[in-house]
Amino acid sequence: MNPNHVVFFDTTLRDGEQSPGCSMTTQEKLTMAHALEDLGVDIIEAGFAMASEGDFAAIATITQAIRKPRIASLARAKAEDIEMAARSVQFADRARIHVFLASSDLHLEYKLKISRQEALDRTAESVRLARSFVDDIEFSPEDATRSDRDFLVEMVRVAIEAGATTINMPDTVGYTTPEEYGQMFREVRERIPAIDAQGIILSTHCHDDLGLAVANSLAAVSAGARQVECTINGIGERAGNAALEEIASAFYVRADRYGVSTDIQLEKLYPTSEVLGQIITFKPSPNKAIVGANAFAHESGIHQHGMLANPLCYEIMTPALVGVSKTHLVLGKHSGRAALRHRIEQLGYTISREELQQTYYRFVALADRKKNIYDQDLIGLLPETIRERRSEPVSELD
């Protein structure tokens, strides 16, 4: 594997679906899986086979329809879970079983009620069992970022010795910071030479409880992680997961900083987001990075003037890069004369500097009273002499 290549593990259909309002039918999961395949994700975590008959059926259906990505099925460190996961992916061209077990004392004591030694024993037994079904095994020490570091290292070492090929160290509750998370990956790599010697892939899985999921994921990649677990639109438990579209775009825009390659087709980010929005009960917030309705919209007069002079003044990527059709200059009370003239001319009217000044004063007065300014409003503001000079309208801003 290229040491600078980052694998995208999409868990929209598993962790993402656990978000309230995001439940999907088998057919909806299949539709989303096809979109993820077209997007270029490397691994699709299709579900948690033991969770329900529906989840099992969805995973099995996806394995028979999707060919390019690996298909992963989640399992607790229990024999019955692992056996169910193995059955759910038995028809996959390339299957993965993803086993997890808590590593933090908090989870061991209060949730699982087992000792550290019992956790290590379960880790070894469950990974060995999973490895008896498929060669590709991922192991996750749940709540890794709140775990005792020495114990975390020991659990990871045991999982690797038992046959795990990918080690995912999740920030299960969105607790860590970029500096801490990156350091955890560096320390685990340093203390377990087998990771680099055997080509074990380290993976990041971050939640957004403190709004740091993407930043933490990027910090882990800088520290050597070569798999990122994420979801479309950042959906997921509580505040959500790291957003795939943000991580992929960051790798592209800041190639100077990260220097990694991926198989993600950036121009399909927005269309994939739209597919998800049509399936679940909501679309991303308007101010959501990359795929939000306002991600490429500008109302401020200063920004609009800069955009008309050179889009790079206020956009670090073109809308087309991520599959958005065009930039939008939104006319409102913060807009300036440059944007007003631009839209009036787009509508087919020529306007002098003096006429623009008079029209602008009327426009600002209207914008103070009306949130949304439409083309018919602008035309109504124009003097009759200008309306008589109308030519054919030109195409909108691209």
Q: Do 182 and 95 lie in a common domain?
A: yes
The answer to whether 211 and 177 are in contact (CB under 8 A) is no
Q: Find the radius of gyration of the CA atoms of the chain.
A: 25
Does 285 fall in a domain? no
Q: Do 312 and 236 lie in a common domain?
A: no
CATH code of the domain in which 218 resides: 3.20.20.70
Helix orientation angle between 337-346 and 301-309, rounded to the nearest 10 degrees: 60
Q: Do 165 and 307 lie in a common domain?
A: no
Q: Do 354 and 214 lie in a common domain?
A: no
Q: Do 318 and 368 lie in a common domain?
A: yes
Q: Do 330 and 205 lie in a common domain?
A: no
Q: Do 92 and 232 lie in a common domain?
A: yes
Q: Do 337 and 260 lie in a common domain?
A: no
DSSP 111: I
Q: Do 97 and 197 lie in a common domain?
A: yes
DSSP 99: E
The answer to whether 77 and 108 are in contact (CB under 8 A) is no
Q: Do 168 and 93 lie in a common domain?
A: yes
Does 397 fall in a domain? no
Among 279, 309, 324, the domain boundary falls at 279
The DSSP line for 298-338 is: E--HHHHHHHHH-GGGT-SS-GGGGT----EE--STT--HH
Does 1 fall in a domain? no
Residues 303, 373: Cα–Cα separation, whole Å: 18
The answer to whether 277 and 283 are in contact (CB under 8 A) is yes
How many domains is the chain built from?
Answer: 2
Does 343 fall in a domain? yes
Does 102 fall in a domain? yes
The DSSP line for 150-182 is: HHHHHHHHHHHHHT-SEEEEEETTS---HHHHH
Domain enclosing residue 104, as ranges: 7-279
Among 252, 279, 306, the domain boundary falls at 279
Q: Which two tokens stand for residue 179?
A: 């500096």
pTM, entire model: 0.85
Does 185 fall in a domain? yes
Q: Do 305 and 270 lie in a common domain?
A: no
Does 292 fall in a domain? no
Digit-by-digit pLDDT tens for the chain (398 residues) are: 799 999 999 999 999 999 888 999 999 999 999 999 999 999 999 999 999 999 999 999 999 999 999 999 999 999 999 999 999 999 999 999 999 999 999 999 999 999 999 999 999 999 999 999 999 999 999 999 999 999 999 999 999 999 999 999 999 999 999 999 999 999 999 999 999 999 999 999 999 999 999 999 999 999 999 999 999 999 999 999 999 999 999 999 999 999 999 999 999 999 999 999 999 988 999 889 998 877 765 444 555 556 556 666 656 788 888 887 655 556 777 777 888 887 788 778 888 888 888 888 888 888 888 777 777 778 788 887 787 766 555 444 43
Does 64 fall in a domain? yes
Q: Do 228 and 259 lie in a common domain?
A: yes
Phi and psi angles of residue 2, each rounded to the nearest 5 degrees, phi first: -60, 120
